[in-house]
Amino acid sequence: METDPKFSQSLGWTAAALAKDKSGGLTMAYATYLQDGTTQVGEVHGDQLIPLSGIAELGTGTVPETLAAAVRDESAAVPVADVTMCPVVPNPSKVICVGLNYRDHIHETRRETPKYPVLFPKYASNLIGAYDDIVLPPEVAQPDYEGELAVVIGRAGRRISEDDAPDYVLGYTVANDVTMRDFQYKTHQWMQGKAWDASTPVGPILVRPEEIDLDAAGIRTLLNGEKVQESEINQLLFTVPNLIATISVFTELRPGDLILTGTPGGVGYRRDPQLLLSDGDSVIVEIDGIGATKNTVRTST
């Protein structure tokens, strides 16, 4: 995995720009990063990461109290540009994704508006860091981008009500649900198009829910500098609380689990002519107040 130093520094600028609340305090934002072969969780302070002692990665053992109580080792602060950013949660027990959750995307696919969320799985092996290369499998002819908001679960729960659902969110991050369309449409099930190893960027940071107003946040995807997707998170057909309530009916949600909430309209496969990913492409997914992934597309060797 390689870090883009210029973009890493822009992460610091973004975090710093968002890091002042009304009382002048710092935003609660965190990252899992790799330094000298060891993973570590750091709290974002401008362009620096301050390690949290005793926490190797955000995941199954990370609840809000864990983050709040951890000792900040300020003497070991490291510039973001000097480390490799891992997936925010490198080893979630579940990655549950949502399809057809923005009306403009539903319209472009010519499908009926779902009355129940369209759900499918990914796996921990599918995830890559926010700045890692997206390496296209040699078997795939139609790779596509899908910018998405990702929810990180912070408490275990089953049959969670919508009213209680916000209490189960550890934070939010950014994802690109890279999809192999030719494999996706081999059957009515989507897993074979969605669950490719090392294909899904997630990160670079986790922002605590009290630090972000999702109703005011925009999401956009840029391909080689051209804006190809743009919407607002408040356009989700099934909201974050609704998704948590729905999913927790049939499975226990656990700390570190990820929910990818769906993509807006503008995907490459539905364009005329189609706009699919190819070697050398730059793909950025950004969400206001949270951050951005930036990945270069490479063909496998």
The pLDDT tens digits for 214-239 are 999 999 999 999 999 999 999 999 99
Mean pLDDT for the chain overall: 91
Mean predicted confidence (pLDDT) in 144-164:
98
State the sign of the Cα–Cα–Cα–Cα dihedral 245, 250, 254, 259: negative
Question: Can you tell me which residue has the tokens 């319209």?
Answer: 107
* Structural domains in the chain, sorted by start: 5-85 (no CATH), 95-299 (3.90.850.10)
Non-local CB neighbours of 75 within 8 Å, separated by 6+ positions? none
Calpha distance 121→97 (Å, rounded): 6
User: What's the pLDDT band for 27 if we cut at 50, 70, 90?
Assistant: low
Say whether pLDDT at 212 is over 70: yes
Q: What is the distance between the alpha carbons of residues 242 and 214, in angstroms, rounded to a whole number?
A: 14
Among 6-20, 54-68, 230-244, 270-284, the least confident range:
6-20
pLDDT, residue 14, reads 47
Contacts of 251 (CB under 8 A, 6+ apart): 94, 158
pLDDT of residue 209: 96
Q: How confident is the model over 120-133, as a mean pLDDT?
A: 98
pLDDT of residue 16: 39
Gap between the Cα atoms of 46 and 13, Å rounded? 6
* Residues 6 or more apart in contact with residue 272 via CB below 8 angstroms: none
Q: What are phi and psi of 238, to 5 degrees?
A: -105, 115
pLDDT category of residue 104 using cuts at 50, 70 and 90: confident
Token pair 């063909």 is found at 299
Residue 179: which pLDDT band, with cuts at 50, 70 and 90? very high
Tell me the per-residue pLDDT of 63-101, one tens digit each, with 9 for 90 and over. Answer: 999 999 999 999 999 999 999 999 999 999 999 999 999
Q: Which residue has the higher pLDDT, 108 or 64?
A: 64
Mean pLDDT value of segment 15-41: 69
Other Cβ atoms closer than 10 A to 94: 18
pLDDT of residue 187: 94
* pLDDT tens column, 10-22: 444 344 334 333 3
Q: Return phi, psi of residue 46, to 5°.
A: 60, -125
119 vs 97, 157, 170, 189, CA distance in Å?
A: 6, 19, 21, 10
What span, in angstroms and rounded, lies between the C-alpha atoms of 220 and 231? 6
Are β-strands 218-223 and 143-144 bridged in parallel, bridged antiparallel, or unpaired? unpaired
Cα of 81 vs its chain's centroid, Å: 20
Question: Cα torsion at 148, 34, 44, 282 (round to 10°)?
Answer: -40
Q: What is the pLDDT of residue 108?
A: 87
Q: What pLDDT score was predicted for residue 218?
A: 97
Q: What is the average pLDDT across 238-244?
A: 98
Alpha helices per DSSP H over 79-139: 103-109
